Structure 1
Amino acid sequence: MPSAHKLAQKWLSEFEQFDYVVAPSGSCAGMVKTHYTAVFNNDPDLKMRAARLAERTYELTDFLVNVLGIDQAKLGVSELSQVTYHDSCSGLRELGIQKQPRDLIQRMGGVEILEMKDSRQCCGFGGTFALKYGEVSSAICTDKCEQIQATGAQAVVLGDLGCMMNIEGRLRRMGDNTQVLHVAELLTGRKPGQI
């Protein structure tokens, strides 16, 4: 697909100069790490450059835990005492992101993770899936939101922007004001919108 090739080449030219590329969303990091090299299958030079960049591309919590080794002294303090964590499909299945965000949250001190039933279950967003199969997507998201509600947590914490948008939209339509936070918001101790 010419447009994907052009976009991947632009990404490569803009980011390959850096030591690391850190993405706040598992789906973004997953695209670079697992799919961009295939875009360049017909161009060995670009494919090799993309593979080198993929090795230096990280999802945020993976970078904080496995590259920087963040400890409690470097984390914020949260006003929240109980949260639950939603594992996004891309972060979990493409990058193995599951333990890293939980390790960071536990290092904060004073914040308990209340695991929801089926935290690894999709929220129903899946990019264009939500558009093509709206009723199915809506039902999946409703199930996810009921699992969140059942924990009694003050907030659901996530590491994927698509999941955040989908889950928060469904919770609000259900009349639920549970906070929906990106893991970076929780880890810095900032309130939503302050980052």
Structure 2
Amino acid sequence: MRILLVEDDIPLAQGLKHSLHREGYALDWVQFGQLAIDTVNSGDVDLVILDLGLPDMDGLSVLRKLKSLNKLLPVLILTARDGVENKVAGLDLGADDYLAKPFDIAELLARIRVLARRINTHQSSIISIMDVELDVKANLVKFQQQDVEFSRREYMIVKALMESAGRIQSKNQLENSLYEWGEEVSSNTIEVHIHNIRKKLPKEFIKTVRGVGYIVRKS
């Protein structure tokens, strides 16, 4: 899951970035509302954690714009504005959850897990292609009914390719699903992961489209 954190408190944002990365989430961080809108407009965000007190525009205005771009995008409001009127306003505008500062990181992680499960209910939990079965709820991959062990990033590549079966995923798209903005990525990182994945799955399961990317065929 790729999370966008919209927060202008730098120490708090850095702490959240560390905690969420440790839990296996890819997290991008912006400090301004307009940057949040531009990022969501690019389409590569699964969940937004949104502070209401931003330096360039009010967080509720950002929320309204985000929901106009993608009404199904989960948004968790994270703010020092703990008054009931702000909570009501946020929820009325389509926010999915609300957490007042100060908060415990364990509670934030629990709320993120709830939203992640909600996302998964909008799609079939099992994807099956060529005797390979992906359970997106349990985060498991099986081949011929046997569990296949993958590293976290290998699993995320398999998930990205199977969820997009029939569509080519470029190297850049796969990198974006694995790494945060500014994180150093070796030029052959995706190739190495793909090589390791291919050892564990059927021959020709992942096809290379030379100069473009990788694809898993639907059948």
User: TM-score, normalized by length of structure 1?
Assistant: 0.34
User: RCO higher in 1 or 2 (8 Å CA, sep ≥ 6)?
Assistant: 1
Q: Which has the larger radius of gyration?
A: 2
From the two aligned structures, give the one with the greater helix fraction: 1
From the two aligned structures, give the one with the greater strand fraction: 2
